[in-house]
Structure 1
Amino acid sequence: RVFYGKVGAADELVGWANEMYALIKTHNPSISYRVMSDHQSGRTDRVVAEIEVDSLADLDSMLSSLMEDEDLNAKFGEHFGKLGNLIEYAEVEQWTIH
């Protein structure tokens, strides 16, 4: 996911993304993720949060499983509530590694 942060929000957005994926890892410790920022090119305050899965079916299954956990689902809702104050918009990109 590519997040286009509000001016000056990149560092806080990086923290938000790391906290979000830490929540996911509590439920699925094997998930591989990374958070990247680019302060030297393109649009400023842009942050990419990347996860790696074997297939989109695995991703769908993982997300469904996460949403079945009521406590985790509530934490997600609370955490996503903070996102609107940090970004202008976000885009989803799904890439295949060859």
Structure 2
Amino acid sequence: MLLKRLDSITIGQYIVFTESETIYELEITGEKKTLQRFPGEGKRTLRKDNEELNIIGNFMIVVGEPAVFVLEPLGIFGNCTIRTTTRVQKIERIN
């Protein structure tokens, strides 16, 4: 099922496709929200790509706009990591 928007409280599993050909797999349950980032072929890689990361903030993803995620700290400094995507092209519910 294709969606035009997704918020952080809608339980399910989703795939988000971005303009840079990066794919994000999201899982939202009652207790936790996670994502995995899979960069497109030959695209820039980021720390902890292909690993499940905890989303600790709320979000709203809208097709045509960049998505912003507040993640668990991925380094030794700070209390969170912010990830911003290129424009979202498609949101697909897979479960």
User: Normalized per residue, which structure has more helix?
Assistant: 1
Q: Which has the higher contact order (CA 8 A, sep 6+)?
A: 1
What is the TM-score of this pair, normalised by structure 2?
Answer: 0.30
What is the TM-score of this pair, normalised by structure 1?
Answer: 0.29
User: Normalized per residue, which structure has more strand?
Assistant: 2
When Rg is computed on C-alpha atoms for both structures, the one with the higher figure is 1
